[in-house]
Amino acid sequence: MAVQVATDQDFEQILKDNPRVVVKYFADWCGACKMFAPKYKRVSNEEENAGVVFLEVNAEHNEIARKAGGVDNLPFLASFKDGALVEGSAASKEEYLRKLISLTA
C-alpha cells in the first residue's frame, strides 16, 4: 500500500477508519527523515503489510497528530491499533519499524 500523507484535518479519522496504522513523523529539515523515507516506502509496499495503513505526518505543521503519537524527536515512528497509540519512539531503523507493524496485529 502506498504511503499516505496525513494532516491534523484527517489524522483522527484515518485512525478511526483503519485498525492497523503505522506513522512516520518527519520535518522538511530532517536529514535522517529523508534518508529513512525509501525504506519506509519499501516496507509499506510489502505484500505481508497489505492490511496496515502507512502514514507520513509533518510534525512541524500538525500539532494534533504529533501529540497523538507522543513525538519528542525526529524521525519518530509510532503504531496505532484500533485508534489507540501502542508504541512510539524516535527511530529510523527498519527493525524497529517491523516491530511496530507486528504490534498492530
pLDDT averaged per 10 residues in sequence order, the chain, 105 residues: 94 98 98 97 96 98 97 97 97 96 95
CA separation (Å) from 30 to 43, 63, 68, 100, 104? 20, 17, 20, 21, 27
- Determine the pLDDT at residue 1: 72
Indicate which residue of 33, 52, 65, 91 is catalytic.
33
The answer to whether the beta carbons of residues 100 and 79 sit under 8 Å apart is yes
- Determine the pLDDT at residue 30: 97
Identify the CATH number of the domain defined by range 1-72: 3.40.30.10
> Among this protein's residues, is 33 annotated catalytic?
yes
Indicate which residue of 6, 30, 43, 97 is catalytic.
30
> Among this protein's residues, is 38 annotated catalytic?
no
